[in-house]
Amino acid sequence: MTETNINKTEPLILAIDTSSPRASMALSRGSQLIAELGIIGNERRSTNLLNEIDWLLTRLDLAITDITAFSVLIGPGSFTGLRVGLATIKGFAHSLNLPVIAMKSTEVIARACGVSEATCVILDAHREEVFLQLFSSDDSGEVRELSEINIAKLEQALALVYEYQQSENLPRIVFAGDALELYKEKILKFAVDNGIFIPKAKLLTTNRLGWILNKQITFLAPEMALYAQEKFSLNQVLNASEVSAYYVRPAEAEVKLKLGLIGKKKNNLS
């Protein structure tokens, strides 16, 4: 496999997502996606990631030194996955003195949903909680944050979104994210409890305000790779030392360390 019919003077960007339930990587050249790889399972160890990057580049007769810039997700998502992906990309960017396009997973998902006055991205945060963020996106592809990333119980999140929709008199809200499939039954129950009519994938309220549930995006890296080209052209880049993870809450290990639960022997209760 080699690049064909592609202007090789355009930037070559390697995008990596190790924070999502399904990790992935992709390469874009200008406005074209030239390769992508979905990673099956939960293996996100750095040695495996390096091997997979090498495999993808080799298939295209490319080397890591051919890369123009890197793109990586900074969160929210798997703590371990974020750290592996960030460490790998920052290592490459630092050693090659190349820029990084850092993105939030919520932003990438919202952009993939297309034009919308309001897109609500809901991601599984575990512990029966979800990450929640609202966006708007226009036909030029520009994505604008309407809220910060918050974390809440699903029922609280849905109630907040519905209240916002009513207050802004929005004709529809597009929902996306892995929590939709995970909590489908609870979302339907919320709809029934609140008198929401449900034809197929659309949830239409009694006052004709609509909810549209998008299908889950299987892999985010291809979306990232193309979006990164736009950001790169606008010089929305960082150097390696400026890139850091976006944590909505501290990792469990960090919490335990602060509570003194790591590094101490367990009490003998017998």
The pLDDT score that the predictor gives to residue 263 is 44
Query: Strands 12-17, 150-153: parallel, antiparallel or unpaired by DSSP?
Result: unpaired
**DSSP for 138-172?**
-TT--EEESS--EEEEHHHHHHHHHHHHHHHT-SE
Please check the confidence at residue 5 and state whether its pLDDT lies above 60: no
Query: Which of 46-55, 93-102, 167-176 has the highest mean predicted lDDT (pLDDT)?
Result: 93-102
3 lies in some domain:
no
Q: Which residue has the higher pLDDT, 48 or 134?
A: 134
Q: Is the same domain home to 99 and 159?
A: no
Please check the confidence at residue 258 and state whether its pLDDT lies above 80: no
Q: Is the same domain home to 209 and 118?
A: yes
Helices 184-193 and 154-168 cross at an angle (nearest 10°) of: 50
Contact (Cβ atoms closer than 8 angstroms) between residue 144 and residue 136: yes
223 lies in some domain:
yes
66 lies in some domain:
yes
- The secondary structure of residue 238, as a DSSP letter, is B
Please check the confidence at residue 224 and state whether its pLDDT lies above 90: yes
194 lies in some domain:
yes
pTM for the model stands at: 0.84
Q: Is the same domain home to 178 and 151?
A: yes
The pLDDT score that the predictor gives to residue 21 is 82
Q: Is the same domain home to 33 and 78?
A: yes
The pLDDT score that the predictor gives to residue 257 is 44
The pLDDT score that the predictor gives to residue 32 is 96
Residue indicated by tokens 């820029």: 99
Q: Is the same domain home to 254 and 131?
A: no
Q: Is the same domain home to 56 and 137?
A: no
1 lies in some domain:
no
Q: What is the pLDDT of residues 158-215, one digit of tens each?
A: 999 888 888 888 878 889 999 998 998 888 788 777 766 555 545 554 445 578 888 8
The beta strand positions in the chain, using DSSP E, are: 12-17, 24-29, 32-38, 69-75, 100-104, 116-126, 129-137, 143-145, 150-153, 172-176, 202-204, 210-213
Q: Is the same domain home to 171 and 190?
A: yes
Average pLDDT of the residues in 134-162:
91
For residue 239, give the 3-state DSSP assignment: coil
Domain limits for position 71: 12-106+218-258
Residue indicated by tokens 């944590």: 247
Q: Is the same domain home to 122 and 206?
A: yes
Residue 234 belongs to domain with CATH number: 3.30.420.40
The pLDDT score that the predictor gives to residue 170 is 83
Q: Is the same domain home to 146 and 232?
A: no
24 lies in some domain:
yes
Residue 187 belongs to domain with CATH number: 3.30.420.200
Please check the confidence at residue 47 and state whether its pLDDT lies above 80: no
Q: What is the pLDDT of residues 53-79, one digit of tens each?
A: 999 999 999 999 999 999 999 999 888
265 lies in some domain:
no
* Total of domains in the chain: 2
Q: Is the same domain home to 24 and 100?
A: yes
The pLDDT score that the predictor gives to residue 45 is 60
The pLDDT score that the predictor gives to residue 209 is 55
Q: Is the same domain home to 165 and 147?
A: yes
Average pLDDT of the residues in 105-117:
94
Q: Is the same domain home to 23 and 102?
A: yes
For residue 197, give the 3-state DSSP assignment: strand
Average pLDDT of the residues in 93-106:
97
Please check the confidence at residue 104 and state whether its pLDDT lies above 70: yes
86 lies in some domain:
yes
Least confident of 37-46, 205-214, 224-233: 205-214
